[in-house]
Structure 1
C-alpha cells in the first residue's frame, strides 16, 4: 500500500510504506496537539520528491521531512534506496528531521541541515499485543532478507539445529500474532560496515514486552532495553535466553524502562 495519509486532530502523516505505520502512530501520540497544528510529516519513500511537489498538494501545511532510512554512499552501494536521490530531495525541504546522529553527520557533508533528531519513543497506543504464555516460536525475524541477513540466519540455524524454532515473515500480515507467539525478536543489520540502529524495527516489540536481540550499532539509542551480541555469539545468546526463561524477565523490564525513558521530543520553534 502506498500514498496513505494518517490524520489526527492537528497533524497529518503521509507514508508510503505500511512498515512505517508504527512511526506514524508514535507521531500521533506525541505531536497531535494544537502546538503542532497544521503540520504534515512526510515519511519513507515520499522523500524522493522535492519540497515544491508537496507544497503544491498541501499549500497551507507546515511540511516536515522525517528521514527514517540509513544514509550512506555512494548510491547503489549495498543500500535499499537511491541515496543520491534522497539527498537531492531533502536539500529542497526547509525542515528535515532524522532519527540517527550518523545520518545527520552524513547529510551535513552535502550541506543538508537537519533541524531535529527524533529517535523512536515509547507510545502507549502501540502497547497492544497480548503475548502468549507459551510461545511456539523461539526466534522471530521480520522484514526484508537480503544476502547478508540470510547468510547470518542460515549460520545461526545450523548451529541451533534441533534446539530452537525460527520463523520469518515479511510485510504486515499477522505481524502482531507472530510477535505474540515469539520469545525473541532478532534484529540483523542489512549492510556492513555501516551499523545504523534499526530503531523502527525494534521499538514496537520492546513496547510490547518482547526481548529484542540485535547486532551492536554504532550508536545505541535503545540502551539496555535490547540485548546486543556479535554474530559469532548469537547462537549461544539466543539459546541461553530461551533455555533459561530469561526472555520473559528481560522483555518485561525493557518495556518498563522504555516507558520511563525521557523522550527526545523537540519543541516547536
Structure 2
C-alpha cells in the first residue's frame, strides 16, 4: 500500500517563507508607522494586508496541511483515517463561480494562478464528499490514476498544468506529474544554486553595512576599512541583482527563466 505525503523540503520551504514574510511585514510596518502620518499608516495597513494574505496561501496553509497523508488502498483511498471507496468516485470537479472564472482567464493570459485565486482549483467528487486535490502533494497524479483517472485525459486539468508557469513549480507550491519529475529535479537544482548565490549577495550587503557602522563607531569618520566594507556591500548588491535578473528577471531589463518555467513544456 502506497502512502502519499509531503516532502520534508516542502515543509522547510513553507516555514522559511513564513519567517521571511513575517520579518518583511514587521520591517514594513515599522517603516510606515515610524512616519506617523495618517496616509502612510493607511497605506502600511493595506500593504500589510496584501502580504498577510499572500503568506496565508503560500506559507500558512501549506504548513497546516503538511501532515496530510493519503493511503492508496486496493478498494479506494484513506485520508485522516476515513475511507473513500473507488466505486463512489464520480470524477474530478473544478472550482466554479465568478472568481474562479476570472482566475482561469488570468491563467490563460499571463500563465499565473495568483495566490488570491480559489485553491485548490480541483476536487475529488465522491458524491456526498468533496475532497480537495492538492497539486503540491507529491504523487497527486498517482492518486488520480489509482481512482481510474489519467490527468492528461481531463481537459481542464491538462490546460491548467500546461499553462501554469513560474516559481510555484520550484518552491514546493506545485508538484509535477511523474512523467516530468526527472527534468524538474534538474531545474530545482539549478534554482537552488541561484538562490544560494542571491543569499550570498544579500549577506555581503548586510555584513558590509553592519561593518561600516561598527568601524565608524559613535564618532563617525571614514577609515580605509570603511571604504573596503562599502565595496563589500556594493559587490554583494551586484551579485544579488545579477542572479535575481538571470533567475527571476528584472522588470523592463531582463526576464528570468523561472518566470517562464513549466516542467510539462518538454513533454
Q: Same fold (TM over 0.5)?
A: no
> What's the TM-score, normalizing by structure 1?
0.25
> What's the TM-score, normalizing by structure 2?
0.25
Larger Rg: 2
Q: Name the one with the larger helix percent.
A: 2
